[in-house]
Structure 1
Amino acid sequence: MTAREYLEILHVAERLKDTPRHCTTTNRRTESVAEHSWRISLMAFLLRHEFKDLDIDKVVDMCLIHDLGECFTGDIPTFIKTDADREVEDSLLDQWVKSLPKELSDDIAVLYKEMDAQETKEAKLYKSLDKLEALIQHNESPIDTWSENEYELNKTYAFDTVSFSEWLTDLRKAILDDTLEKIETEGQKA
């Protein structure tokens, strides 16, 4: 890869810094997709000793690249994203990945294939962290920033995704405890 090719990849990825997500931070600032990707990467890194049998470096790689398609489409919340939206995002991402230097393109394509198949524990961990981070962020954001459907989603979302791991299931239950406490203490809809 040449220095110019490297810079071009970084320029595309930089778009995620300016791509807003539907969540806000504790201080009511709309978070970016890049911030979400950074935090799930950190979450994976921090689990290095909890999941000793997994290739955590691979999980971190998955977390870092998982939303690169949103460089081209923006963030569409999972609860309103359609199959057509996914097809457009996947197509644009695939075109871009194929345009990268071959070795890098091949590495990224292999990761995306594994992530999409959701057969390995690494892929399942990445997907779990992606979903759990959104729940954690909602619990950290002011409750008046939640959309109507998020009251129920925060209670039910991702339990099926984490079911392969007792540790992640315990984490999901702790997040639910935080959700229920937030709803109760902020006096909003239950």
Structure 2
Amino acid sequence: MNARKLLDSLFVAERLKDTTRHCFTSKGRHESVAEHSWMMTLMAFFMRDEFPDADMDKVIRMCIIHDLGECFTGDIPTFEKNQTHEQIEENLLYNWVSSLPEEYAIEMRELYEEMKERKTVEAQIYKAIDGLEALIQHNLSDLSTWIPKEFDLNLTYSDDKVAFSDYLKSLREAVREDTIKKIEEAK
């Protein structure tokens, strides 16, 4: 990618540093979308040995790009996002992706389609990490930042996304245990 196009692309992606999510950090400020993506990427890096048959470099690429559409729409919490929101985000994202040099545009479209279909083990791992990272971050944030529906969500969310993997099911259970402990300690 030539220098100008790289800079132009980074100027768009940089928006995610200031695009906040519903979740808070352990020190009490809103988490950015970029921070969420970074933590997901780190999780995938540390899970490489758990999935020896998966292309974990591809999972890492999925984690890096998965929320780029939020450069254009902002973050909409999963419990509020609907099909219309998803379609608008996808249209804006694909319009931007089409402006990239062809080899990057093709790779990104292929990754986004694979992630959307969730038929490959790599796409399933990415989607599980996406949900688990949000739950882990909620457990790290102060309970006073949780809205009422999050108490149940933190106990049930992503169960379906981890069902294909014993390792991810055990990680989900450990996150659930942390949630229960956090809620009980606040009583």
> TM-score scaled to structure 2, two decimals?
0.99
In the other structure, the counterpart of 1:34 is 34
In the other structure, the counterpart of 2:107 is 107
In the other structure, the counterpart of 1:72 is 72
Structure 2: segments with no counterpart, 5+ residues: none
CA–CA distance in structure 1, aligned partners of residues 154 and 50 of structure 2: 24
Q: Percent identity?
A: 56
Structure 1: segments with no counterpart, 5+ residues: none
Q: CA deviation at 1:2?
A: 1.5
In the other structure, the counterpart of 2:48 is 48
In the other structure, the counterpart of 1:82 is 82
Q: CA deviation at 1:73?
A: 0.3
In the other structure, the counterpart of 1:160 is 160
State whether structure 2 residue 133 is matched by structure 1 residue 130: no
Q: CA deviation at 1:186?
A: 1.1
CA–CA distance in structure 1, aligned partners of residues 180 and 152 of structure 2: 10
Q: CA deviation at 1:166?
A: 0.4
- Cα deviations by residue, 1:94-125 (Å, 9 ceiling, x for unpaired): 10011111011001111101101100000000
Q: CA deviation at 1:154?
A: 0.5
- Cα deviations by residue, 1:119-143 (Å, 9 ceiling, x for unpaired): 0000000000000000000000000
CA–CA distance in structure 1, aligned partners of residues 146 and 16 of structure 2: 22
CA–CA distance in structure 2, aligned partners of residues 80 and 183 of structure 1: 23
Q: CA deviation at 1:83?
A: 1.0
- Cα deviations by residue, 1:15-65 (Å, 9 ceiling, x for unpaired): 000000000011101110000000000000001111111100000000000
CA–CA distance in structure 1, aligned partners of residues 136 and 104 of structure 2: 32
Residue 111 of structure 2 aligns with an amino acid whose one-letter code is: L
State whether structure 2 residue 134 is matched by structure 1 residue 141: no
CA–CA distance in structure 1, aligned partners of residues 160 and 115 of structure 2: 17
Residue 118 of structure 1 aligns with an amino acid whose one-letter code is: R
CA–CA distance in structure 2, aligned partners of residues 96 and 45 of structure 1: 28
> TM-score scaled to structure 1, two decimals?
0.97
Query: Aligned with 2:148: secondary structure?
Result: coil
Residue 91 of structure 1 aligns with an amino acid whose one-letter code is: N
Residue 101 of structure 1 aligns with an amino acid whose one-letter code is: P
In the other structure, the counterpart of 1:18 is 18
Query: Aligned with 2:89: secondary structure?
Result: helix
**Which aligned segments of 4 or more residues in structure 1 are displaced greater than 2 angstroms?**
none
Corresponding residue pairs, total: 187
